[in-house]
Each structure stands twice: as C-alpha cells, then as structure tokens.
Structure 1
Amino acid sequence: MHAYHCYAGDAATLLDAAIAEAPGFVMAHVLKAYINLVGGNTQEAVVGVGAFETARQLPATDREQGHLAALGSLLAGEIRGAARILEDVSIAWPRDVLALHVGQLLDFLQGDSRMLRDRIGRALPAWSRDAPDYHAVLGLLSFGLEETGHYDRAEAAGREAVALEPRNNWAQHAVAHVLEMQDRRADGVTWLTQDGQPWAKETVFLHNWWHLALFHLGQGETDEALRLFDGPMFGPRSDHAFDMIDAAALLWRLNLRGVDVGDRWQAVADLYETQPRGGYAFDDAHAMMAFVAAGRESTARGLLELQTTVLAGPGDNAVFTRDVGLPVMQAVYAFGHGDYVKAVELLRGVRNISGRFGGSHAQRDILDLTLIAAAGRSGDHSLEQALLAERAAARPLGRPEARKLAA
C-alpha cells in the first residue's frame, strides 16, 4: 500500500509475497487488481482480471464486498458507477485510504473535478497527522484542491505531504500541477529538482518527468524538454496508458511551437499500434496525435472509423467519446492535415466541456493550445487575439507562451 500511494518501489512483488503467504487475503488480490487495471497495459489488464476473479471467490466483509463491486463495475466499463461505489465505501469507512486513492483515480478518468476534492474532504475528520498514510491523504487532497482552483491550499497540502514522505510522487505531482496552472515555470523546475529529487528514487510515476519537461518548455528550453523525453520520461518506452499520453502530449506541444522532434513520433506511434484502441476516449485522442504526426494515415482513419463502434457500445466511454472524444480526434486529424478552419470549429465546440472525457486541467490545456495555433494558421487573427487575451487574463504569465504557439 505504501509503495502504491507513493508510486515508488515494487508493490507487485510485495503483493505476490503476501498472496503466497495468505492466499485468502482478499484485499491483497483487490489491490493487485486495481494496480493492474487502472492506467496499465494489455498484459497487466489480464493480470488484474485474474486477481479480481480470484478475490470474488473468497469470503469477504461488507467493506471488501464494496471494493469487489467497484472492480466489477470498472471491468464493465462503468467508471462512474465504480467511482460511486467507492464513494459509499469511503463514507462508511473514511479511513479506507485505498478507497480514497482509487476513487480519486476514477474521478480523474471521468474529469470530475469536484469529486477529486470532495471525496477526500469528506474523510478528513477521521484523519490526523500522526495516522499512518496521512501523507497519502494529504497528497490526494492537494490534487483535488488544485483541480478546483484552490491553489494556495493545494500547494500547502502537497508540500506538507512531501515533508512527511519525500517519496510521495502523487503529492509531488499535485504541487507541480499548481505551479503549472499558475505559470510558475522556474518554481516548477526548482520543485522537481531540489534536494536530489527524492521523489525520483524508485519511482514508477514517469508523469513527474513530463511536468518537469513542461516547465522547461514554458521557459523556451526545448532542448532540455527533448533531453527529458529521450531520458527518464520516454527512454523506458513504457506502454502504460498514462505514459504514452504524456509522450504524445509533449511532442504535440513541441510541434505546435514548430520544433523539429526528428523521428520521435514514430516510436510513440509504434507503441500505440501495440495497444487496443476504443476503450477510453482520452487515450484515443492522444493516439490520434501520434498517428497523425507520424504519418500513419490508414491507422488514423481506422481510429476514427472505430469510434462508430464505440458510440454504439456499452459503458461510459460511449458518452465520453460522443461528448468530447470524437470531436477532439476529428480536430487533431484536421489540424494534422492542414484543415485549420475545421479544427477551430470542432475545438470551439468542446473546449468548455472537455472535462467530460477525463484528464487534468494541465493535460486538457493541449486543446486550448491547439485551438490558438489553429486560429492563427487559419488566418482568423481576431479569434487568435481573443484567445490570447483570454489566456493572459486566466494565466497571467501565459501570454508569451501562447504567442510563441501562434508564431
């Protein structure tokens, strides 16, 4: 559990040892299922399903039954249902930090910023600073506060969590989100590089390297962003869904700035080709970036055609795709083929509801950046200037970055 909360260390080996010693340990199987099913790859998903199948055959308490029900909903593609079940588990057992942790991940997948915060806030009266795992609760609280715009409180909670447990990658990342949203780029570099980067020791959370690359990119240090991409961020060639999203998102931002990224897109597109598509719209949108930028025309068109099946299918992803995912994929495809007018039209239609297909504010910012660039390249300079003014008002230091995009 500690390794999982910190995203550091080898949780899988520890879990397997626990299961070998106590095969009837329901929550060990449950944790193994969560770890392998949320944000993993195809092979890990198979392991996760197996862990769930084992767990549901075992005698279980009411609390454990709640986790099993959540896993069942998740496997049925009902992310919102699984999140609601874990919400009820947390209400009944507010010290169940696993329910809080996984519940917040599911809130993230559906872009429910209010629950990212309130799921944790409800449980706070049951916690105190001297309780085990309090650092994990603070890290979760920090991210929820950041996603609802409470930046000062979010930063304070995140910094306190890291002071309690320097290896807590989630808390480290929550503070990085605050600094990203406030355009405090230099502060962001300092935050992620200070004290020998204790968060990076044993980390399995490559997302923090993405944040560091964004901070350097925001300061115009494209060479350093590319160095991080080639090194700790994408050097491992991770095929985990979250890691591939980060790789595509960073390269797309560089493309918007006109930076030549060489053949890096090919490696990202190769990874996306190995993974199933059509399961989660936020993943598919980033896969489209990779396929378009790498020149994989038939694969890109195939991804668009696949969405017809997704829209007719069961589960929450049909809604995520209908409301936001498909228009975003179409916009990325249009942008990549020089149809900037169409890209503008599509992105303007979804940008204000983009939270419906998941991700964080920092991740979804790529839609606004693409819209600004598309407006400029389409010749609609009135819209471009309006978007630049909007961004400058919302993010006081954002205007120079946005201007570079439109150059």
Structure 2
Amino acid sequence: MPPTDAMPDAMPDPNADLLEARAGDALTLPDAEARAAWSATVRAFLAHGTQTPERLADTLERAPDFAMGHAAHGLFCLLLARRELVAVAEEDWRRAEAARHAAGAHPCEAAVVDALRDWLDGAPSRAAARLDATLADHPRDAFLMKLVHAIRFVLGDAAGMRASIETVRGAYDADHPALGFLLGCHAFALEETGAYDAAERIGRRAVELCPDDAWGLHAVAHVYDMTGRAEAGRVWLEGNTAAFAHCNNFRFHVWWHLALMYLDKGDTDRVIALYDEEIRRERTDDYRDISNAASLLMRLEIEGVNVGGRWEELARLAETRIDDRCNVFADLHSMLSLGGGGRRAEADALISSIALHAEEASDMGRVAAEAGVPAASGLDAYFRGNYFSAFHHLNRARPRLASVGGSHAQRDVFERLAIDAALRAGLAGEAERLIRERLALRGALDRFACERLEKVESLKRAAHIMQDEGLRAVPV
C-alpha cells in the first residue's frame, strides 16, 4: 500500500474502457456493445452523472441476463431511502437471481447480487463487508470500489471507507482510467478520519486527473469547512463549478457547501440567494436534497436570520415521508423540516415512527434506537422551546450520531443545535464542553465557535455577578 501522499505522474485516459482494468471478459455480457454500455454506466456512477440511470437501462436492454446490472439497480434504489423503492429493489433481486441461474455470474456479479439480498434483509453492513471481501480479490474493480464506498457512507463508517480504499489503492496504477475517482474517494475518507492535509492534497490531485470528479472536489471543500478556511473554500468551489455541472442532484449538495462558506463569512444574503437559485432549484423530495435545505435553514435560524416561508415547502414534503423508516439520517432532517414548519402533530407522528423503527432487528433499527430516538426527541424539544430537555436529548444522541450516516459537515447541524440549546438553557459549562469537543474534531475554530465561546464567557460573567455576595442587597 502506498503512503497517502503518493501521487501518479501520468494522466490516465478518462475515456478508456473501465472494464479493461479488471479482466472484464469474465463478466456475463453478451457482446462488445453491452460491455461498452456497462463501462459507460460505471463511469457515470463514478462521476455522479445524470446519465447513470439511462446508461444502466441501456446495459440491461442489451444484456437482460446481466445479474450485476439488475442488482446494481436494486442497490441504487436502496441508497435513495424511499419506502416505495424497497419493493422495486426486491424485484431487482429476483431478476438478478434468475439471471444468475440462466447465464451464470462472475464472482463480482455474484457478490453484488448477494449484497442486495443482505441489505433487503436489513443488513447493509453485511453487504458492505461482502463487497469489501470481493474487492480484495478484484482490487481494480472501480464499480465495487465506489459501491462499497457509497454504502459505508450511508452507514457513517468513515474508518471502513478509508480501510476499503487503502486496501486497493496499490492496484490503481497511473494507467487505471478510474484512478482519479479512487483518489477522490480516498480524499473524502481521509477527511472524515481527520487526515486533513493528505485529504486536501489527494483531493486536488483527483480533480486534476478527472476534472468531473465532483466527489473529490467536494472532499477538498470538506477540508476547508473542517479547518475553518471559508475563503479558501469559496475560491475552490467557485473556481471549479464545471466539475459538478454534469452531476445529478449531487450538484445541489456542492452548492450547499459553497453556502456554508458564505455563512461562515457572515454573508447570509448570499446564502439565501444560493438556497433559492441553486440548492432548491429543483424542489424534489429526495432526502439528500431535503437534508441540504433543512440543515441550511436551521443554521440560518440559529444565526437569527428570518428565512421567511421557506420551511413550508420542506414541511409539506416531509409530511409524506413520516412512515418511510428507511434511513435515520433522512428522518432527522424530516424532523427539522416539520419543526421548522410548525407541524407539531406530524413531528409527534415521526417520533413514533422512529420508535417503531427502533424495534426492528436490523442495522437501521439499531441506529434508530441508539441515535434516532434521542436525537428526534431533542429536535422536537428544541422547536417547542424546551431547551434544557433539547440539550440533554441531543447530548445523549451525540456519541452514536455518526451511525446515522452522512458526513461531519452534514451532522454538524445537530452539534450546533445542541450548543445553541445549552446556551439558551443557561448551561454555559456544557456549551463550552461541546464547543471544545467540536473543535477537537474539526481542527480549527470557525465563526460559529468563536461567537459561541464569547456567549459562554458572557454567561459565566453573569453567573459570577449573580453569585457575588458583595453585590447582594442588605436588608434594612
């Protein structure tokens, strides 16, 4: 395994057949046209491209007995965390199984089919482990590399993401057409595990090798966010908008990162403009888009910004997702949306739904029990103005909050809410503890932390004055 700063000098051909990197002739693809269609699917998937579904549909039209194609569609459905797509994924598994029996399956194909079954059975962690085991035998398979990265991201498994990439990194030489995309995944995993210098360096190289590697671009943005360099982050993103213009709704998330840079600079007018013009350009109910929007509005409100009627749209969409019980990260952002939109009864219904999820003997059921229920209770208390209770619920969720998935930057909204609740409840010492713990994770103070530390000191001074016996009135 090379050191994290090892960089290739040559530029791989971005248009090369991605299957050549893995002895793709062993796949059960009937001809060169089907092979080219699958290679195009893989590349679109690596680049978060809008054409991924069309490329996959083209592959399956040319190769209806391609088990991996059917299983990939099912896993893509599950990654979207929508209740109605679970049945679609189940049907995809049945088709994949039928294709496996009809045409056979390469070990990589079989692993993807079985990983789909694992997740459908409630064990995405088992799916990830299965794919990693197969990846160890086929380290140059870029599709497996990106797929397991995506699943571990949903699981909030930063260490697993990093170990997965570093296990196969040595198999990606300068000629591998997916080298840039692998480096982008490596950069993100490094950032999420606190290796900020290496993450920035490798992420920049990823974008050099693959100018459309939006994941690598956004990994560098994460570094700037976590190290308190908002201006450098702004310059990086605004100078590379072409790297994510081709993306599916992931482009909204990259715009969200730019909004965070402007928020840290105190330019809330620009944040609102980015929200309206880019982040909610398409008013979908995709949970990733909702999470971008709800967490940004929440950050603005914590800063005292009036966001107008923007919560209403999110609350209406969140009402339709109360009983999904697919993804706790999605549920918590639905709680933000319902709370921000003043939907008290619906928020109660969502808490009950999360509690039901917590009773399931599944990976996500355990996450709901350990992190989802206390976090949702804390959010509900916050919106009801019970800040003491909000702090204690959110504080109880914090040790397990990474398990809901997403990134440090995405989950930071819950850190901010816990700190804000502590301050509003007059818990200066607890607020300071959370700020210091947040600093230890991030590596640098940002504007939010600096201003809250000032509030902590103000509360401490007020408490000192209140406790000064010399200032008490003496009875006549």
Q: TM-score normalised by the shorter chain: which range applies?
A: over 0.9
The count of residues paired between Structure 1 and Structure 2 equals 407
SS in structure 2 opposite 1:200? coil
The 5 A counterparts of 1:348-367 are 348-367=395-414
In the alignment, what sits opposite 2:369? 322
The 5 A counterparts of 1:4-403 are 4-39=45-80, 41=82, 47-59=88-100, 60-205=105-250, 206-275=252-321, 276-392=323-439, 395=442, 397-403=444-450
Distance in structure 1 (CA, Å) of the matches to 2:155 and 2:439: 28
Residue 89 of structure 1: CA displacement? 1.2
Residue 397 of structure 1: CA displacement? 4.8
Residue 400 of structure 1: CA displacement? 3.0
Residue 332 of structure 1: CA displacement? 0.4
Between stretches 222-231 and 324-333, larger displacement belongs to 222-231
Q: Structure 2 vs 1, CA of residues 396 and 117 (structure 1 numbering), >3 Å: closer, same or farther?
A: closer
The answer to whether the 8 A contact 1:169-1:203 is kept is: no
- How well do the aligned residues superpose, as a CA RMSD in angstroms? 2.0
Q: Structure 2 vs 1, CA of residues 387 and 204 (structure 1 numbering), >3 Å: closer, same or farther?
A: closer
Distance in structure 1 (CA, Å) of the matches to 2:167 and 2:367: 27
Give the share of equivalent positions with the same residue, in percent. Answer: 32
| Amino acid across the alignment from 1:141 | H
Q: Structure 2 vs 1, CA of residues 135 and 369 (structure 1 numbering), >3 Å: closer, same or farther?
A: same
- CA deviation map 1:322-348 (0-9, x unaligned): 111110000000011111101111122
Q: Structure 2 vs 1, CA of residues 18 and 278 (structure 1 numbering), >3 Å: closer, same or farther?
A: closer
SS in structure 2 opposite 1:212? helix
Q: Structure 2 vs 1, CA of residues 283 and 175 (structure 1 numbering), >3 Å: closer, same or farther?
A: same
Distance in structure 2 (CA, Å) of the matches to 1:394 and 1:156: 20
Residue 151 of structure 1: CA displacement? 0.9
In the alignment, what sits opposite 2:32? none
Between stretches 131-140 and 190-199, larger displacement belongs to 190-199
Distance in structure 2 (CA, Å) of the matches to 1:269 and 1:229: 16
The answer to whether the 8 A contact 1:278-1:284 is kept is: yes
The answer to whether the 8 A contact 2:372-2:397 is kept is: no
Between stretches 377-386 and 75-84, larger displacement belongs to 377-386
| Amino acid across the alignment from 1:326 | V
Distance in structure 2 (CA, Å) of the matches to 1:81 and 1:392: 33
The answer to whether the 8 A contact 1:112-1:358 is kept is: yes
Unaligned runs of 5+ in 2: 1-41, 456-476
Choose 1 or 2 for highest CA Rg: 2
Distance in structure 1 (CA, Å) of the matches to 2:178 and 2:84: 30
Q: Structure 2 vs 1, CA of residues 196 and 277 (structure 1 numbering), >3 Å: closer, same or farther?
A: closer
| Amino acid across the alignment from 1:67 | V
- CA deviation map 1:251-282 (0-9, x unaligned): 11111111111111111112222234322211
Q: TM-score, normalised by structure 2?
A: 0.81
Residue 249 of structure 1: CA displacement? 1.0
Residue 392 of structure 1: CA displacement? 4.9
The answer to whether the 8 A contact 1:86-1:99 is kept is: yes
Q: Structure 2 vs 1, CA of residues 219 and 387 (structure 1 numbering), >3 Å: closer, same or farther?
A: same
| Amino acid across the alignment from 2:99 | L
The answer to whether the 8 A contact 1:282-1:357 is kept is: yes
| Amino acid across the alignment from 2:330 | D
Distance in structure 2 (CA, Å) of the matches to 1:63 and 1:399: 44
SS in structure 1 opposite 2:80? coil
| Amino acid across the alignment from 1:29 | H
Between stretches 141-150 and 374-383, larger displacement belongs to 374-383
Q: TM-score, normalised by structure 1?
A: 0.94
